[in-house]
Structure 1
Amino acid sequence: MKIIFMGTPEFAVPSLEIINKDYEVVSVFTKIDKPNARGNKINYSPVKEYALANGLKIYQPQNFKGKEIIDEIRKIQPDLIVVVAYGKILPKEVIDIPKYGIINVHSSLLPKYRGAAPINAALINGDKKSGVSIMYVEEELDAGAVILQEETEITEEDTFLTLHDRLKNIGAVLLLKAIKLIENNKVEAKKQDEKLVSFVKPFKKEDCRVNWNKTSREIFNLVRGMNPVPTAFSSIEGKNLKIYSVIPYEKKYENSRNGEVVEFLKGKGVVIKTADNSVIITSAKPENKKQLSGVDLINGSFLKIGEVLC
C-alpha cells in the first residue's frame, strides 16, 4: 500500500514512525518552514525532521489551490492519505484521489471537540476522559465517519503536555490498526451523531487570561489545560505573569478581592483568592524572567501581599 503522510507537529511523529515501518510512505507533506523568534534561524517541523532523517520525499505547499500540487498527488497515485495534525484544509479534488480515501488521527472522542485544540479543551472543561478517533476525511471539518476510537482517563496530575504525549502514542497504535482494517476490507465506520457535536476554536491571547472571578477548580483546569502551551497568564502592574501550575486550596479569604495575593505558604507558593476559595501558584514565569517555582516566587519578592492579579 502506497501512503502519503500529512502532518506537522510532534503529535504526528509517532504515527509517521509506526506506519513507515510497515508500509511504503511515498511522500510526506508538512507545513512550510518558519523562522524562530529572533528570525535568524529556520525551524523545521518535527515531521520534516523525521522525514529528512529517514530519506522520505518532502512537500511543503503553501496551500492546495494550485493545479500543480494536486496533479503531483495524482501522479503519485497513493492508495491512502493519512493526516495527523497537518494544519491545512484539503479540497475535494485531493480527497477524491486515493483509492482508500483519506483518514485522520484526531485527539478527541468525536463528535466531541471537533476543531483545533481538543486536548486543551478536555482539560479546561474538567472532562474525566479523553481519547483518539480515527476517521475518514470529508470536506466538512472533522465530520467523517469514525473507524476506531480509544479512550484514556484524565487524571488529576494531567496537563496538556502529559495528555498530549499519551494521546500521540495511542493515536499511532490505533492508526496502524485502522490501516490494517482498510487493507483487509474490514472497516465498519460509524457516522457521527450530529446532535452531540461540539467545536473548539483556536485560542486567542485573551482566552488564556486567568479569570479570578471563577472557582479554584475552574482556574486549576484552565492552567493545567494550557501548560505548557499556549500558557495561562495574568497581569500585575502592567506586566504579564505566565502561570504554569496551581493547586486548589480549601481556604476562604472573605475580606479580600478575587485575584488578590493573600498569603505566602512556606515550601509551597503564593496563595491567590478565587471566587470560592483560593489557589496556590506553584510555578510561574514573571515577565522577562525564567520560569520559577512557587517558593522562588516568594523568595524573589515577585509578588507582594495585597497586590491584585487581573
Structure 2
Amino acid sequence: MNKIYKIAYFGGDPLGAPVLERLVKTPFQPSLVVCNPDRPSGRGQKLAPPATKVVAQSHGLEVAQPETLGASFFQQSEWDLFIVVAYNKILPEWLIELPKHKTINLHPSLLPKYRGANPIRTAILEDDKELGVSIMLLDEKMDHGPILTQAKAEIENWPIKGGQLDQILTDLGADLLLQTLPQWLTSNLKPQEQNHPDASYTKKVSKQDGELKLDPYNMPVGENAKQMYLKILAYDGWPGTFFFHDGRRYKVLEAHLDETGKLHIDSIVPEGKTDTPFLSHFK
C-alpha cells in the first residue's frame, strides 16, 4: 500500500495502548494520538501519563490530551480516518463525520451484545464465553453504528481472569483492525446494520462493586459461590474484590471452586499487610 493516510487515533485503557503498539508498525501509523490528560496517581499523587500517551511518545507521535473535544483543533487538517479504541469520551457527530472515511471503533464484544463501557468484565460475570470483537462505524449513539467486521474468540480453560481476557481480545482486535483497514480505506467493505432489538448493555464499574458479602468461616456453596467466584475473576486487577470481617478489609487475590461447588479463597491481602494464605487467618 503506497498511499499515506492521515489518521488520528483515540485511545484509552485497557486496549488503547497495546493496539496502538501494533498499529505503529504498519502503513496505518497515526499522525496524531488523542488520549486522556495526565492524572494524579499513587500515594504521592504525582501526575502520570496514560499508557496510550507513553506508547505514542515512544514512537515520536504527536499527542493531544484535550479535556473537551473542540472543533478548531481537528478542523485544522484534512483527515482520512479516525480510529477509536477504548476512548472514554463521547465523540460529537460533527467530529465523527469529519474524516473522509468517517470514524471506526474497535469494541471488545460481538455487537450488539454488551454495548457500553464494560463488555469484558460483564462477559465473565455472565459466564458467557461466546466472545469476540467488532469493528464498527461510529454514529451518534453508543456502540450503535453499522458493523464492518467481526471475529470470534477461541477461549480455553473458561472462566478466566479479566486481565487474561483483556489480552486475548486485544490481540484479536488488533489483528481484525489490521485486516479491516485496507478493505475499508479502499471502499471494499459494506457496513451491515446491527440487529438492534438484540442489544444488551453494560455499566461502568466502581471500587465498591468489588465487595463480597461473605462469612470467611462459612463459605458459600452453589449458585452464590459461583457468582462470587466469577466476580473475583472478572474484577482481578481493577477494581479488585474484597470482604470485611470484624471491621477489617481483606483483598482477595486467588480463589477456586471445589467439586461440590463450594468457594475457597486461597490468598488474601489483609488491610495494611502483604499477601498471605487465607487459611493463616481463617482456619
The normalised TM-score by structure 2 is 0.89
Corresponding position: 1:249 with 2:230: no
Corresponding letter in the other structure for 2:46: K
Map of 2:217 onto structure 1: none
Map of 2:119 onto structure 1: 118
Report the Cα distance in structure 2 between the residues aligned to 1:287 and 1:204, rounded to whole angstroms: 19
Map of 1:282 onto structure 2: 266
Q: Pick from 216, 235, 238 the counterpart of residue 229 of structure 1.
A: 238
Corresponding position: 1:5 with 2:9: yes
Map of 1:106 onto structure 2: 107
Map of 1:43 onto structure 2: 48
In the TM superposition, residue 22 of structure 1 has moved relative to its aligned partner by 1.4
Q: Is the 8 A contact 2:35 2:87 kept in 1?
A: yes
In the TM superposition, residue 130 of structure 1 has moved relative to its aligned partner by 1.4
Map of 1:258 onto structure 2: none
In the TM superposition, residue 245 of structure 1 has moved relative to its aligned partner by 2.4
Aligned pair count? 270
Map of 1:291 onto structure 2: 275
Corresponding letter in the other structure for 2:160: D
Corresponding position: 1:22 with 2:21: no
Which secondary structure state, in structure 2, belongs to the residue aligned with residue 22 of structure 1?
coil
In the TM superposition, residue 42 of structure 1 has moved relative to its aligned partner by 1.6
Which stretch of the first structure deviates more once superposed, 214-223 or 131-140? 214-223
Which secondary structure state, in structure 1, belongs to the residue aligned with residue 15 of structure 2?
helix
Which stretch of the first structure deviates more once superposed, 148-157 or 107-116? 148-157
Corresponding position: 1:57 with 2:65: no
Corresponding position: 1:190 with 2:183: no
> CA deviation digits over 1:184-216, x for unaligned, max 9?
211122111111111111013332222447522
Report the Cα distance in structure 1 between the residues aligned to 2:44 and 2:191, rounded to whole angstroms: 45
Which secondary structure state, in structure 2, belongs to the residue aligned with residue 195 of structure 1?
helix
Report the Cα distance in structure 1 between the residues aligned to 2:29 and 2:121, rounded to whole angstroms: 33
Q: Is the 8 A contact 1:216 1:249 kept in 2?
A: no
Report the Cα distance in structure 1 between the residues aligned to 2:146 and 2:7, rounded to whole angstroms: 20
> CA deviation digits over 1:153-192, x for unaligned, max 9?
3433511011101111111111111111112211122111
Corresponding letter in the other structure for 1:106: H
Corresponding letter in the other structure for 1:189: P
Report the Cα distance in structure 2 between the residues aligned to 1:165 and 1:24, rounded to whole angstroms: 21
Corresponding letter in the other structure for 1:241: Y
Which secondary structure state, in structure 1, belongs to the residue aligned with residue 153 of structure 2?
strand
In the TM superposition, residue 291 of structure 1 has moved relative to its aligned partner by 2.9
Corresponding letter in the other structure for 2:17: V
Map of 1:174 onto structure 2: 176
Which secondary structure state, in structure 2, belongs to the residue aligned with residue 282 of structure 1?
strand
Which secondary structure state, in structure 1, belongs to the residue aligned with residue 194 of structure 2?
coil
Corresponding letter in the other structure for 1:60: Q
What is the aligned-residue identity percentage?
30
Map of 2:225 onto structure 1: 216
Map of 1:96 onto structure 2: 97
Which secondary structure state, in structure 2, belongs to the residue aligned with residue 100 of structure 1?
coil
Corresponding letter in the other structure for 1:70: A
Report the Cα distance in structure 2 between the residues aligned to 1:111 and 1:245, rounded to whole angstroms: 32
The normalised TM-score by structure 1 is 0.82
Q: Is the 8 A contact 1:30 1:58 kept in 2?
A: yes
Report the Cα distance in structure 1 between the residues aligned to 2:58 and 2:29, rounded to whole angstroms: 16
Q: Which sections of structure 2, spanning at least 5 residues, go unmatched?
A: 215-219
Q: Which sections of structure 1, spanning at least 5 residues, go unmatched?
A: 252-276, 306-310
> CA deviation digits over 1:218-258, x for unaligned, max 9?
2221111111221122111122222232211244xxxxxxx
Q: Is the 8 A contact 1:32 1:62 kept in 2?
A: yes
Which secondary structure state, in structure 2, belongs to the residue aligned with residue 61 of structure 1?
coil
Map of 1:272 onto structure 2: none
The structure with the largest strand share of the pair is 1
Q: Is the 8 A contact 2:144 2:194 kept in 1?
A: yes
Which stretch of the first structure deviates more once superposed, 30-39 or 207-216? 207-216
Report the Cα distance in structure 1 between the residues aligned to 2:238 and 2:147, rounded to whole angstroms: 28
